[in-house]
């Protein structure tokens, strides 16, 4: 679904006149503070029983926040920060109100996802940057014993559930179309540290000795208008390098307003 939307947006963008100039866009050499709403879908095709699945797509309320510094100048340094947990707060509050907030379910979120880059090519309409990604990914995958929602004795979670600190290469690509700036960010992150969540969480996780840590792929396409309105399509994937093959994905469609300073 998201792949088709990504492709359609590129086709629409290229069909416009190339009169737009990135160097004159409101987001050029500016700090941005964005607030957005959106819908989130989290999937793990290996999860056998529906008890642990998220009902989705779910609405993230009006609490999503992102920060950025954008520049389309040659050699310019750019930065983006996403706080995924801010888009999950509203849904978590609903779960708590319904009495299901502490039920073991799949989850895929994070506190801070940083993208940092340096422009290596820039002209009036196109800008390319390369850099690094620094992000933490929180992954929950329940391990059910049967379709009644029972667990194996002493365990609730399965590998590679936990908190992953990651780093990896990042690519930025920007294109100017009329009053719009189209921005793409992609990264591939490698886990370098898995800090302990809590003692209770660790005790309830079915650990496998020598289990390989996961990698993460991040893809984001956003369209920003001179007025401050923006739309973003985001897909993040966890690649499970271990024997269980617990690959996961998080898809988002967001609409928001960004103040440029």
Tens digits of per-residue pLDDT, 11-67?
A: 444 444 444 579 789 999 999 999 999 999 999 988 888 878 876 789 988 889 999
DSSP letters for the chain: -HHHHHHHHHHHHHHS-TT--GGGSTTTTEEEEEEEEEEEEEE-TT--SGGGSPPSSEE-TT-EEEEEEE--STT-EEEEEE-THHHHHHHHHHHHHHT-TTS---EEE-S-EEEEEEEEEE-SSEEEEEEEEEEEEEEE-B-BSSTTS-B-TT--EETT-EEEEEEEEEEEEEEEETTEEEEEEEEEEEEEE-----HHHHHTEE--TTPPPPEEEEEEEEEEETTSEEEEEEEEEEE--STT---EEEEEEEEEEEEE-
Q: Is the pLDDT of residue 1 over 80?
A: no
The residues spanned by each domain of the chain are: 2-260
Tens digits of per-residue pLDDT, 97-131?
A: 888 778 888 999 999 999 999 999 999 899 999 99
Supply the pTM of this predicted model: 0.88
Instruction: Give the CATH number of domain 2-260; options: 1.10.3470, 2.60.40, 3.40.1000, 2.40.128.
Output: 2.40.128
| pLDDT computed for residue 149 by the predictor | 80
């Amino acid at each position: 679904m998201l792949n088709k939307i990504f492709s359609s947006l590129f086709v629409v963008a290229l069909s416009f006149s190339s009169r737009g100039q990135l160097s004159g866009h409101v987001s050029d050499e500016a700090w941005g503070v964005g607030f957005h709403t959106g819908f989130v879908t989290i999937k793990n095709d290996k999860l056998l029983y529906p008890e642990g699945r998220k009902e989705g797509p779910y609405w993230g309320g009006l609490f999503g926040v992102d920060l950025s510094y954008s520049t389309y100048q040659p050699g310019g340094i750019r930065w983006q920060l996403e706080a995924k947990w801010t888009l999950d707060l509203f849904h978590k509050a609903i779960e708590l109100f319904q009495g299901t907030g502490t039920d073991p379910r799949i989850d895929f979120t994070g506190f801070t996802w940083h993208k940092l880059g340096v422009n290596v090519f820039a002209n009036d309409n196109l800008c390319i940057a390369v850099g690094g990604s620094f992000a933490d990914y929180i992954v929950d995958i329940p391990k059910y014993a049967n379709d009644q929602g029972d667990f194996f004795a002493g365990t609730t979670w399965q590998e590679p559930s936990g908190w992953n600190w990651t780093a990896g290469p990042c690519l930025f690509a920007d294109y100017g179309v009329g009053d719009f700036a189209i921005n793409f960010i992609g990264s591939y992150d490698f886990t370098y540290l898995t800090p302990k969540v809590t003692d209770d969480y660790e005790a309830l996780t079915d650990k496998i000795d020598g289990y390989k840590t996961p990698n993460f792929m991040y893809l984001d396409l956003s369209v920003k208008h001179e007025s401050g309105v923006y739309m973003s399509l985001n897909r993040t994937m966890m690649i499970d390098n271990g024997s269980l093959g617990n690959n996961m994905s998080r898809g988002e469609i967001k609409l928001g307003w960004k103040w440029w300073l």
